[in-house]
Structure 1
Amino acid sequence: MTTSTFTVTGMTCGHCVSAVSEEVGDLPGVTAVSVDLPTGAVTVTSQTPIDEAAVAAAVEEAGYQLAGR
Structure 2
Amino acid sequence: MTTSTYTVVGMTCGHCVSSVREEVGRIDGVTQVDVDLANGAVDVTSDAPLTDDAVRAAVEEAGYQLAGS
The TM-score normalised by the length of structure 2 is: 0.99
RMSD: 0.2
SS at match of 1:11: coil
Alpha-carbon separation, structure 2, partners of 1:50 and 1:35? 17
Deviation of 1:20 after TM superposition, in Å, equals 0.2
Alpha-carbon separation, structure 2, partners of 1:28 and 1:9? 23
Q: Which runs of 5+ in 2 are unaligned?
A: none
| 1:14-53 → structure 2 map (5 Å cutoff) | 14-53=14-53
Paired positions, count: 69
Task: Look up the match of 1:66.
Answer: 66
Deviation of 1:68 after TM superposition, in Å, equals 0.3
Deviation of 1:19 after TM superposition, in Å, equals 0.1
Q: Which runs of 5+ in 1 are unaligned?
A: none
Q: Which stretches of structure 1, 4 residues or more, deviate above 3 A after TM superposition?
A: none
SS at match of 2:20: helix
Q: Kindly, what percent of the aligned residue pairs are identical?
A: 71
